[in-house]
Amino acid sequence: MTDNRFCDACGKPNREQARFCGHCGQPLQVSGAEKNALPNEPLKEELKPRQSNIQGKNMKSLSGTIIIVALLGLLAYKNPTLDDYEHFMRQKITEESKTDVEKALGFFFGDFASRFVASQTVRKDYIFLSTYDTELSGEHLRAVGILNNFIILETPQSLKSRH
């Protein structure tokens, strides 16, 4: 026959090894000798700060992952196409026109010139950005497209001399 331990809160009997009352759920009183005999396991109250700390770290890493995925999705969505590059070149031709005659020619022939430039361009798509390499009379115009914007990396000498 096993010894019973009685709950101080409800008075019901419990197993001797029980830490909590099986009827009302209240913690059972533990004597000093019993405390020494219990294994060194953390109680539920001791686990709560650790669990909330782990949950906080998990939430931070989940939030960081969501932000990174969203940024990569935005970069992929806003990766400019060859048509975008053609439009950019049309704008550049118009902007570079200094005299009224050049502006008129740029207005009338800018569309043709930008299509010609685009047809001479090799686009390399890297999902989040693209590189554009245009060969003009043996020289190269190189640009990077990211977030629907273009950054010119290399301008041919023949175009530099116009400035």
The residue ranges of every structural domain in the chain are: 14-76, 82-160
Please report the sign of the dihedral spanned by the C-alpha atoms of residue 76, residue 82, residue 86, residue 89.
positive
Among 31-40, 72-81, 111-120, 137-146, name the one with the lowest average pLDDT: 31-40
Q: Note the pLDDT of residue 47.
A: 52
Express each pLDDT in 67-76 by its tens digit: 999 999 999 9
CA separation (Å) from 79 to 23, 68, 92? 64, 16, 19
Q: Name the nearest CA neighbour of 88 among 57, 125, 120, 114.
A: 114
At 58, the amino acid letter reads N
Q: In this structure, what are the phi and psi dihedrals at residue 16, rounded to the nearest 5 degrees?
A: -65, -35
Contacts of 127 (CB under 8 A, 6+ apart): 75, 76, 79
Contact 12, 4 (CB under 8 A): no
Express each pLDDT in 43-73 by its tens digit: 555 555 566 667 777 888 899 999 999 999 9
Alpha-carbon 41 to chain mean position:
40
Considering only residues 84 and 39, tell me which one the structure prediction assigns the higher pLDDT.
Answer: 84
Q: Note the pLDDT of residue 112.
A: 82
Strand arrangement, sheet containing 139-146: 121-125, 130-136, 139-146, 149-154
Q: Which residues pair with 135 in a beta bridge?
A: 140
Contacts of 135 (CB under 8 A, 6+ apart): 120
Q: Which residues pair with 146 in a beta bridge?
A: 149
Q: Note the pLDDT of residue 31.
A: 65
The single residue listed with the structure tokens 């806003």 is: 78
